[in-house]
Structure 1
């Protein structure tokens, strides 16, 4: 587990960023609307990534044709994610929205891993993971009710 500690820290930082972003997007959604908050989120993020790529002289963008066609829909899915976060947080509250989103991510991830769908490495659902999903669903129900 020692070698994976930095990866766990990076994942935790990402989780913290998602919660903070959700709160910010919920605030924007209430003030200016869902599409407008998505535009600001994606526009500012796209600008920063574009600048980083310019500094990095384009990076490895020329290799994009080698990416599976379905992976190129990540940007569209990102719009769904960002829109759902902003819309849901503004109407359900941060904890409820994040609980439902995380539970859905966990269960979807487990299914993708179990069957190796969309290029995922095979990681079978065992009793431990199944128990975790059950606890997550119970926790989601407790938060939402």
Structure 2
């Protein structure tokens, strides 16, 4: 089992990369447009992961064949995420855009957990979780209204 410090460091690096990526996509959005920003983001990332995938896995996609059908839509959802970040960050600012993003993630995550939808493990939405979500929504309001 991985140490929580290692996993936490990886998560923190991902969070920092997300903030930088959103900022860079916002710059691309302002310079050329949302579609151009999304294209550059996916094209450059696609080239890198394509090379890594060929080098480390030989291009073999067979292990991914056991995933449920809806899991293959993750790339389309990634397009929505990248486009929404590209569009919203230069207009709202990084903190406001990310606050709304995180609140939406938590809210949908709580629903998926509560009902066990799409293969999520069932974690009932108790009073503590509900209070946390309501506090989070209050935080969104405070940050966005500034």
TM-score relative to the length of structure 1: 0.92
In structure 2, what is the Cα distance between the partners aligned to 1:59 and 1:109? 32
- Count of residue correspondences: 144
Q: Per-residue deviation at 1:30?
A: 0.2
Q: Describe how 1:1-145 pairs up with structure 2 within 5 A.
A: 3-58=3-58, 60-145=60-145
In structure 1, what is the Cα distance between the partners aligned to 2:52 and 2:25? 23
In structure 2, what is the Cα distance between the partners aligned to 1:60 and 1:89? 36
Q: Per-residue deviation at 1:54?
A: 1.1
Q: Per-residue deviation at 1:59?
A: 5.8
Moved over 3 A (4+): none
Q: Per-residue deviation at 1:107?
A: 1.1
Q: 1:124 to 1:3 in 2, by over 3 A?
A: farther
Q: Per-residue deviation at 1:5?
A: 2.6
15-24 vs 68-77, which moves further: 15-24
Q: Per-residue deviation at 1:60?
A: 5.0
Q: Per-residue deviation at 1:3?
A: 3.6
RMSD: 1.6
Q: Per-residue deviation at 1:29?
A: 0.3
Q: Which runs of 5+ in 2 are unaligned?
A: none
Q: Which runs of 5+ in 1 are unaligned?
A: none
**3-state DSSP of counterpart to 1:70:** helix
In structure 2, what is the Cα distance between the partners aligned to 1:28 and 1:93? 15
In structure 2, what is the Cα distance between the partners aligned to 1:128 and 1:6? 28
